C-alpha cells in the first residue's frame, strides 16, 4: 500500500478518536464524571435539631408486674424482635428499628410533659401491644432457642446498631406518631380516616409489594343468625335481626377501607364491623348468598403508617431503610 499524506491524516484522526475523544465521552468530559462539587455548589443542609436518645428507658413488664430500666438501644432490639418477623430483609428491620425508636422517644417526651399513661403510671412504655411488644434477649432465648439467638437475634442487633440513635423528623420536629401495621392490602390510610386527627406524614400511599403478607384475601362465612348476634352483642342498640336481606357498602376511605356499610336498615362503620366480627382489616367486601354472609378482607391491622410486609417487599426490590420510611411516612427525614 502506498502511504500518502491522505492515509497519514486518516490514521491520525482515527487514533485521536479512539484514544482521546472516545474515552473522554465514556468517562465524562475531562474524566471528571464524579468530580467533587465546586465552591459554587450549595452547602449541604445542616440539621441542628437532632434529639439525643437516652441511655436507659423505663418499661413496665406486664408478665412480672414491675417497671424495668433497660438500656435504650437494647430495648429497641427487643421491640424489633417482638414486632417484626426476624426473617425479614435487613433494610426492613432497620426501618422497623427507626420507627420503633421514634415512637419510643415520643412516649418519653410526652411522659416528661404530662405524665405516663394511666395503665402504667411509673413508665412511659409497656411491653405489650398497648405500646409496643418488647421481649428481652433471655425471654427470646427460652422462646426460640440457641440457633435463633445465634442467627436471627444477631441480624436484628446488626440492624439496630447500624441505625443507632436515628429518628424520624417532620419539618425538623420528631415525627411523634410513627405508626405501623402488618399489611395494608395494597394502600395505606390517611390517619383521620382511621383515628381522630389528620397527621401530615400519615397519608394514604400505595403499598405495592405485599406479596408474602399473611391475611390476604381472607374469607369468613357467617350464618345470618350468627352475623346478627355478633353485631348486636357489640352494638346492642341497633337491634339487627335476621334474615339479612341487604348489605351495601355506602362509602370507602382513600385507602380502600369500608367507611360506612348498610345492613338491612342499620348503618355501621367499617371499623365497627371489623371489631364485631373479628376481621383482620376494614378493607373488605361483603356478600349474601341465601342465609350465608361472606366477608373477604385484605390486609392485617389499622392500615396507617408503615406496612411491615410492604417494607419487606420494598427491601426485596432494592430500597434501603430510609427510602422505605420516606415512602410510608410522607415528608419525613431520617437523621
Ligand atoms: Zn403501654
Q: What angle do CA 221, 225, 229 make, to 5 degrees?
A: 100
Q: How far away, in angstroms, is 120 Cα from ligand 1 center? A: 7
Over residues 184-237, the pLDDT tens digits come to: 999 999 999 998 899 999 999 999 999 889 999 999 999 999 999 999 998 888
Residues of the chain with pLDDT under 50: 1, 16-40
Q: How far away, in angstroms, is 194 Cα from ligand 1 center? A: 20
Sign of CA dihedral 64, 66, 71, 77: positive
Domain spans in the chain, listed from the N-terminal domain onward = 1-33, 56-211+303-334, 218-297
Q: How far away, in angstroms, is 76 Cα from ligand 1 center? A: 15
Q: How far away, in angstroms, is 62 Cα from ligand 1 center? A: 9
Q: How far away, in angstroms, is 221 Cα from ligand 1 center? A: 34
Q: Are 94 and 319 within 8 A, CB to CB?
A: no
Per DSSP, the three-state class of 129 is: coil
Amino acid 15: pLDDT: 58
Q: How far away, in angstroms, is 334 Cα from ligand 1 center? A: 25
Which of 231, 242, 75, 83 minimizes the C-alpha distance to 164?
75
User: Which residue in this structure is represented by grid cell 341465601?
Assistant: 290
Q: How far away, in angstroms, is 124 Cα from ligand 1 center? A: 7
For 258, left (φ over 0), alpha (ψ -120 to 50), or beta? beta
Over residues 75-111, the pLDDT tens digits come to: 999 999 999 999 999 999 999 999 999 999 999 988 7
Residues whose CB is less than 8 angstroms from the CB of residue 2 and which lie 6 or more positions away in sequence, other chains included: none
Q: How far away, in angstroms, is 213 Cα from ligand 1 center? A: 26
Assigned C-alpha cell, 285: 367486601
Q: How far away, in angstroms, is 81 Cα from ligand 1 center? A: 17
Q: Considering just the CA atoms, what is the radius of gyration of the chain in Å?
A: 28
Q: Are 269 and 277 within 8 A, CB to CB?
A: no
Give the pTM. Answer: 0.81
User: Dihedral angle at the C-alpha atoms of 142, 148, 154, 160, nearest 10 degrees?
Assistant: -70
What is the spatial distance between Cα 169 and Cα 332, in angstroms, rounded to a whole number? Answer: 5
Amino acid 72: pLDDT: 98
Q: How far away, in angstroms, is 135 Cα from ligand 1 center? A: 14
Per DSSP, the three-state class of 242 is: coil
Q: How far away, in angstroms, is 134 Cα from ligand 1 center? A: 11
Which of 278, 273, 277 minimizes the C-alpha distance to 263?
273
Q: Are 301 and 65 within 8 A, CB to CB?
A: no
Q: How far away, in angstroms, is 110 Cα from ligand 1 center? A: 13
Amino acid 271: pLDDT: 87
Which of 191, 157, 147 minimizes the C-alpha distance to 71?
157
Amino acid at each position: 500500500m502506498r502511504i500518502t499524506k491522505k492515509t497519514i491524516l486518516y490514521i491520525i484522526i482515527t487514533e485521536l478518536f479512539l484514544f482521546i475523544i472516545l474515552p473522554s465521552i465514556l468517562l465524562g468530559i475531562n474524566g471528571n464524571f464524579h468530580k467533587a462539587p465546586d465552591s459554587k455548589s450549595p452547602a449541604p443542609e445542616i440539621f441542628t435539631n437532632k434529639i439525643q436518645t437516652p441511655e436507659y428507658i423505663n418499661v413496665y413488664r406486664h408478665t412480672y408486674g414491675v417497671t424495668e430500666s433497660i438500656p435504650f438501644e437494647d430495648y429497641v432490639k427487643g421491640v424489633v424482635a417482638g414486632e417484626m418477623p426476624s426473617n425479614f430483609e435487613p433494610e426492613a428491620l432497620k426501618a422497623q428499628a427507626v420507627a420503633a425508636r421514634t415512637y419510643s422517644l415520643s412516649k418519653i417526651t410526652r411522659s416528661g410533659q404530662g405524665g405516663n399513661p394511666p395503665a402504667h403510671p411509673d413508665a412511659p412504655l409497656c411491653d405489650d401491644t398497648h405500646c409496643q411488644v418488647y421481649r428481652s434477649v433471655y425471654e427470646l432465648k427460652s422462646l426460640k432457642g440457641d440457633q435463633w439467638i445465634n442467627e436471627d437475634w444477631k441480624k436484628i442487633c446488626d440492624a439496630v446498631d447500624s441505625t443507632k440513635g436515628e429518628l424520624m423528623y417532620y419539618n425538623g420536629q420528631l415525627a411523634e406518631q410513627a405508626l405501623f401495621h402488618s399489611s395494608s392490602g395494597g394502600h395505606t390510610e390517611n390517619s383521620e380516616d382511621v383515628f381522630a386527627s389528620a397527621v401530615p406524614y400519615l397519608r394514604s400511599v400505595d403499598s405495592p409489594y405485599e406479596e408474602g403478607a399473611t391475611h390476604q384475601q381472607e374469607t369468613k362465612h357467617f350464618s345470618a343468625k350468627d352475623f346478627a348476634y355478633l353485631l348486636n352483642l357489640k352494638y346492642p342498640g341497633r337491634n339487627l335481626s335476621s334474615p339479612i336481606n341487604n348489605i351495601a357498602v355506602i362509602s370507602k376511605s382513600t385507602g380502600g377501607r369500608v367507611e360506612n356499610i348498610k345492613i338491612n336498615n342499620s348503618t355501621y362503620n367499617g371499623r365497627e364491623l371489623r371489631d364485631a366480627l373479628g376481621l383482620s382489616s376494614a378493607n373488605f367486601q361483603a356478600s349474601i348468598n341465601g342465609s350465608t354472609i361472606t366477608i373477604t378482607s385484605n390486609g392485617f391491622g389499622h392500615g396507617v403508617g408503615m406496612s411491615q410486609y410492604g417494607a419487606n417487599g420494598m427491601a426485596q426490590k432494592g430500597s434501603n431503610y430510609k427510602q422505605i420510611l420516606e415512602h410510608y411516612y410522607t415528608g419525613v427525614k431520617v437523621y
